[in-house]
Amino acid sequence: MLTENRKYNFIGELTLKKSSVLPLDAKPKDDKVNWLFLNTGKQQFSFVYKIENPSEANYGKPFKIELAFTMIETVKETVELNFEYEVLRGQESIGNVKLTTNLE
């Protein structure tokens, strides 16, 4: 997972569908891939996330995360708080994210 020694830019809520590449009994905390894309419709921004309460996170239900974006200046100019954005794992749409707090 790409979460060590990272400065997080936002707090948000992530709702994921289980990716087709994961085992049936997998939970979000078991997924080794935490590098996803926020899709605004016009642009995609890559981010990594850290689950605040990993044992409570389930697929299909929102859970709290911290997000660290690349291109953070462009992200801050583009995204809005409390708005849901599509989340992609590569080209696969796997859920949505709502940014609730800017930590910058």
Answer yes or no: is 2 within a domain.
Answer: no
Range of the domain at 39: 10-102
Q: Is 35 part of any domain?
A: yes
Residue pair 8/50 in contact (Cβ under 8 Å)? The answer is yes
Q: Would 33 be classed as within a structural domain?
A: yes
| Terminal C-alpha separation, the chain | 23
pLDDT over 80 at 5, yes or no: no
- Mean predicted lDDT score pLDDT of the chain: 92
**Residue 77 placed within a domain:** yes
Q: Can you give the pLDDT at residue 21? A: 79
Q: Is residue 68 part of a domain?
A: yes
Tell me whether residue 5 is in a domain.
no
Rounded to 5°, the CA angle 25-98-73 comes to 120
Q: What is the CATH number of the domain that holds 53?
A: 2.40.30.10
Domain annotation covers residue 4: no
**Range 49-64 average pLDDT:** 96
Strands (E), 52-102: 63-69, 84-89, 92-102
Produce one character per residue of 5-40: b if its CB has 16 or more CB atoms within 10 Å, e if not.
eeebbbbbbbbbebeeebeeeeebeebeebbbbbbe
What is the total count of domains within the chain? 1
Residues 89, 19 contacting (CB under 8 angstroms): yes
pLDDT of residue 20: 78
Q: Which two tokens stand for residue 56?
A: 């409570």
In a domain, residue 1? The reply is no
pLDDT in tens, 35-45: 999 999 999 99
